[in-house]
Amino acid sequence: MSPAPDGKAAEMAQPARRNIAKLTPDELHIVRNDWSSGQYTSAEIASKHNLSLSSLNATAKKEEWGVPKIPGAKSNAGRRPIYNESFNHMAYVACSESGFTREQLATLFFVTVDSIYRWQRKYPEFKESIQRGLDDWLTHVAETNLRSNVEGIRYTETTKERVPVYEDVPDPEADGHTKRVQVGWRMQTTKTVRKYIPPNQKAIEYALNNRAPTRWKNPNKIEISGPDGDAIPVNYTVDDILAAAAENASGKTPMLPNLNQEKIE
């Protein structure tokens, strides 16, 4: 008995996966039946028929086979695509890392957009995974842009222009000689400039006020108090408070009239 091949030798001994486009109609019919049988996942079908998983999924999407039935998955009535709890994590990863839209999620799961919305209504955990993923993605994008505005942005600007293309061809009027003729056009980079956008002051203020509020207080914060620093009595009118705010904005110390003895009807 010959010894069992090691892992690398066994991998090399396996035949290359076939592209599904090279199957005969009869072979494709067998694969299609396995897809609809409810006994295999797409990966198991690809392994069973020695097919490339990417070509199998691409064909299933193009010919609208739907999602292969997964053993143990929750079933829907009729011919509707089947929802699986593993879709929750897949949807979260797709949304948090790439900001997937509902249309892109439909492509990912080989279903229609209506199925995505139906799953959101029927399975709250699926909807929550999508919303949580999009929130994380949007937060990351916003923080990345804020960091760029705080640090400043460096980039390279290139200018391209259309220039003629020439070739040397035989000159029919001069035997043995050639002449240059224009044979077309091409785009050529004519200028490259490195540019820098300085930090945005508003972005810096926003970052400092939120990241270190005790060290960097908002200078535009307005505080209004009543006479002698006491709380504002309720008998002040709105006009009195607005007038005090206007004085504060102009640099004056806001003072409210002493109306402690007055009662506004």
Q: pLDDT tens-digit profile of 92-130? A: 999 999 999 999 999 888 888 999 999 999 999 999 999
As beta bridge partners, residue 181 has: 167
Q: For the chain, give the mean pLDDT.
A: 78
- Looking at residue 13, its pLDDT comes to 44
DSSP β-ladder status, 178-197 and 153-170: antiparallel
Question: What share of the chain has pLDDT > 70, as a percent?
Answer: 73
Q: Are residues 125 and 185 in the same domain?
A: no
- Looking at residue 77, its pLDDT comes to 41
The answer to the question of residue 7 being in a domain is no
Residue 73 in this model has a pLDDT that exceeds 60: no
Structural domain harbouring 96: 14-136
- Looking at residue 251, its pLDDT comes to 63
CA–CA separation, 50 and 32 (whole Å): 14
Averaged over 187-215, what is the pLDDT?
Answer: 86
Q: Are residues 54 and 111 in the same domain?
A: yes
**Residue pair 187/206 in contact by the 8 Å Cβ criterion:** no
Higher pLDDT, residue 139 or 78: 139
Q: Give the dihedral sign, CA 95/101/107/110.
A: positive
- Please tell me whether residue 8 adopts helix, strand or coil conformation: helix
Q: Are residues 114 and 40 in the same domain?
A: yes
How buried is 263 (Cβ within 10 angstroms: 0-12 exposed, 13-18 middle, 19+ buried)? Answer: exposed
- Looking at residue 62, its pLDDT comes to 77
CA–CA separation, 229 and 193 (whole Å): 58
Q: Are residues 100 and 51 in the same domain?
A: yes
Q: Are residues 86 and 179 in the same domain?
A: no
Q: Are residues 82 and 176 in the same domain?
A: no
Half-sphere exposure (Cβ direction) of 204: Cα atoms closer than 13 Å: 7
Averaged over 64-83, what is the pLDDT?
Answer: 59
**What are the E-state strand segments in the chain?**
153-170, 178-197
**Residue pair 10/45 in contact by the 8 Å Cβ criterion:** no
- Looking at residue 92, its pLDDT comes to 94
CA–CA separation, 165 and 175 (whole Å): 24
Number of domain units in the chain: 3
Quickly state the pLDDT bin for 244 (edges 50, 70, 90): confident
How buried is 110 (Cβ within 10 angstroms: 0-12 exposed, 13-18 middle, 19+ buried)? Answer: middle
Which residue, 88, 104, 136, sits at the end of a domain? 136
Q: Are residues 62 and 91 in the same domain?
A: yes
Averaged over 47-54, what is the pLDDT?
Answer: 83
The answer to the question of residue 32 being in a domain is yes
Q: Are residues 174 and 60 in the same domain?
A: no
